Amino acid sequence: MKAVTWQGRRKVSVDEVPDPRIEEPTDAIIAVTSSGVCGSDLHLYEVLGPYMSAGDVLGHEPIGVVVDVGSEVRSLAVGDRVVVPFQIACGHCVMCDTGLPTQCETTQVREYGSGAALFGYSKLYGQVPGAQAQYLRVPHADFTHIPIPAGPDDSRFLYLSDVLPTAWQAVEYAGVPDGGSVVVLGLGPIGDMACRIAAHRGYRVIGVDRVPERLRRVADRGIEVVDLEQIGASIGDVIRDRTDGRAPTA
Ligand SMILES: [Zn+2]
Ligand SMILES: [Zn+2]
């Protein structure tokens, strides 16, 4: 199959690599139909390079169709359409039971003291082949998938893998009180989605950035924005000004 591979600092390429196959009875293989590129992938591009090996397959935001399942997989069948989340989690350990699958005790990489294994994300997270590829092996497949219906375009569901839950969690952890307001610093894909979620939940939302295209995209949805370049202020000034001097909640 073809896959995007890491080849060195600031160097990736599309290469021919072996097709994945079932290795454990709890695995599934999916044919990837779309795959996101993440801001986190940039860390691999440079900063986390020491933890990468030439040939590592990148990517952790796929959607696809199941083409093979291991003998112990119960909830998936060939032909099912799924989004695969970025983390690999067993679904039956203490951390998974607590609702913290990114700390799954079964897959966490103790050698580096990191959390659950992630697809395509360096030795720190298990060096699991990633999803910017034609096929993906999904370990612990019964739990590590989100079922989606056939029909609507991939773009309708792709963000379920990382962008939507990551942004939702950011808003949730901000602990905004009912009727409260929230400042979102940085309007890249996650900040943009966090603005949408916070607005959806009825909060007053103030998006802050200095990139005109990002500000325009968020403002076009009716969200209040602050352009740091226009006001010549620091982010700290903005928070104090917009929260009437009260400490922000996050
Ligand atoms: Zn991501
Ligand atoms: Zn677990």
Contact 82, 33 (CB under 8 A): no
For residue 72, the CA-to-ligand 1 centroid distance in Å is 28
For residue 249, the CA-to-ligand 1 centroid distance in Å is 25
For the cut 60, the answer to whether the pLDDT of residue 90 exceeds it is yes
Contact 176, 203 (CB under 8 A): yes
Ligand nearest to the CA of 58: 1
For residue 107, the CA-to-ligand 1 centroid distance in Å is 18
For the cut 90, the answer to whether the pLDDT of residue 108 exceeds it is yes
| Structure tokens, 213 | 């295209």
Residues that place a CB less than 5 A from ion ligand 1: 38, 40, 162
Q: Whole-model pTM?
A: 0.88
For residue 129, the CA-to-ligand 1 centroid distance in Å is 15
Which pLDDT does position 237 carry in this prediction? Answer: 72
For residue 73, the CA-to-ligand 1 centroid distance in Å is 26
For residue 140, the CA-to-ligand 2 centroid distance in Å is 9
Which pLDDT does position 229 carry in this prediction? Answer: 86
246 — pLDDT class (breaks 50, 70, 90): low
For residue 46, the CA-to-ligand 2 centroid distance in Å is 30
Ligand nearest to the CA of 102: 2
Which pLDDT does position 249 carry in this prediction? Answer: 47
- Model confidence pLDDT, tens digit, residues 191-226: 999 999 999 999 999 999 999 999 999 999 999 999
Residue bearing tokens 């990002």:
214
Ligand nearest to the CA of 188: 1
- Model confidence pLDDT, tens digit, residues 127-152: 999 999 999 999 999 999 999 999 99
Cα radius of gyration (the chain): 20
Residues 240, 250: Cα–Cα separation, whole Å: 13
For residue 205, the CA-to-ligand 2 centroid distance in Å is 35
For residue 38, the CA-to-ligand 1 centroid distance in Å is 4
Query: Who wins on pLDDT, 232 or 196?
Result: 196
Ligand nearest to the CA of 143: 2
Which pLDDT does position 230 carry in this prediction? Answer: 85
- Model confidence pLDDT, tens digit, residues 22-61: 999 999 999 999 999 998 999 998 899 999 999 999 999 9
* Phi, then psi, of 184 in degrees rounded to 5: -110, 115
For residue 62, the CA-to-ligand 1 centroid distance in Å is 10
For residue 249, the CA-to-ligand 2 centroid distance in Å is 31
